[in-house]
Structure 1
Amino acid sequence: MQVEVYVEDYLCESSQAESIKIGDIYTPITAQTWKNWFNCWLEKLQQNIPPAANYEIGLRLTNDSEIQELNAQYRHQDKPTDVLSFAALEVDSPVPSEMLASMPLYLGDIVISVDTAQQQAQKQGHTLLTELAWLASHGLLHLLGWDHPDEESLERMLKQQVILLNFIGISIDIEF
């Protein structure tokens, strides 16, 4: 199993750069690192996704202004947010096996505001890298049908995020 991650930012489309610049902030994560993380996470979550030889995910790193526009357009909340997910699969909708054998399964798009991620990282006392991984794992879970309409489901989702981050070697302390 392999995942193709299409990383773009709002300033340029240099997905192979050593780091991606968002405004005045350089993200410490390369396109290859993103790909490795998503591969590890999908391997860990294999039982939660339709089996396919390959998967595709779009990842856009942006600023508060652009994510606010998307949040207003798609969620009717005219304010910045940290991460948005746009799932391509319907939950509990079967995918024909002949499609899975012949083409990558497109899971959807994740949009992360690096501005908000930077603020949250400082507030939480961890690195931007940790916060971006946290937000990406949250977005991925949403692409796979996870949701958190109540405290109990939110706690399950956050615990799964901790597991995913540990799986790629990032330790995070969070109280439940």
Structure 2
Amino acid sequence: MNLELIVQDLYQPSTIDETTWSDWFLDWLQTPGLDLPPADTYELSLRLTTDSEIQSLNSQFRDRDEPTDVLSFAAMEVDFPPLPDETADATLYLGDIIISVDTAAMQAAEHGYSLEKELAWLASHGLLHLLGWDHPDEASLLLMLHQQEQFLSCVGL
């Protein structure tokens, strides 16, 4: 399995280096039981931004004129029919994850976590949304949170 990750980090120096992000996402995508569509290479983008930018996106796409911690824009429909086997050699674009580092820093301080751990938590949440996971009810949310804990554990956080 290969991963093409595009990282846009508006914070300098960078909050987490691109190699670490790539390693984490690759480990997460190889987690047993995720039931990924077959592909040789998966692609996604990660943008680390400000409250101001994420508020603008949240307003535009979710009609919520307030900052949020993470937004995900999945490239695949959840109920999309299975891809033919010949696409297994192609690159499959999963979508975009956008995280407000401003909100992540505030939440990290509130929870007593490092900024690195909070950013990983939000990125793992965003990835699950790209893969079709959602949390419309308490049971779904608990499953998703459990998967996020597994993701963080597998990368030592």
Q: Which residue of 1 aligns with 2:64?
A: 77
Q: Which residue of 2 aligns with 1:99?
A: 87
- 2:108 is aligned with 1:114: no
- Of 139, 144, 147, 2:126 maps to 139
Once residues 15 and 68 of structure 2 are traced to their aligned partners in structure 1, the CA distance between those partners, rounded to angstroms, is: 21
SS in 1 for 2:30: helix
- The one-letter code of the counterpart of 1:107 is L
Shift of 1:48: 2.0
Contact 2:69 2:99 in 1 (8 A): yes
**Could you tell me how far 1:98 is from its partner in structure 2?**
1.9
* Offset, 1:90: 0.9
Q: Give the C-alpha shift of residue 4 in structure 1.
A: 1.1
Query: How many corresponding residue pairs?
Result: 156
1:152 counterpart (132, 139, 147)? 139
Residues 5 and 57 of structure 1 are in contact (CA less than 8 Å); yes or no, is this contact kept in structure 2?
yes
Aligned equivalents of 1:118 and 1:45: distance in 2? 31
Partner of 1:48: 35
Q: How does 1:156-175 map to 2 (within 5 A)?
A: 156-170=143-157
Whether the 8 Å contact between 1:64 and 1:81 is mirrored in structure 2 is: yes
Report if the CA contact (8 A) 2:38-2:83 is conserved.
no
Partner residue, 1:8? 8
What's the TM-score once normalised by structure 1's chain length? 0.85
Displacement over 6 Å in runs of 4+: none
Alpha carbons of 1:45 and 1:139: their partners in 2 closer, same or farther (altered >3 Å)?
farther
SS at match of 2:78: coil
Q: Unaligned 5+ residue runs, structure 1?
A: 11-19, 171-176
State how far apart, in whole Å, the 1-side matches of 2:156 and 2:74 are. 26
Partners of 1:168 and 1:37 in 2: CA distance: 6
- What is the deviation of 1:2? 1.3
Gaps of 5+ in 2: none
Q: Deviation of residue 45 (structure 1)?
A: 4.8
Alpha-carbon shift at residue 46 of structure 1 (Å): 5.6
TM-score scaled by structure 2? Answer: 0.94
Measured against aligned partners, the alpha-carbon deviations of 1:69-101 in whole angstroms (never above 9, x if no partner) come to 000011110000000000001113122322231
Give 3-state SS (helix, strand or coil) of 2:43's partner.
Answer: strand
Q: CA deviation at 1:148?
A: 0.4
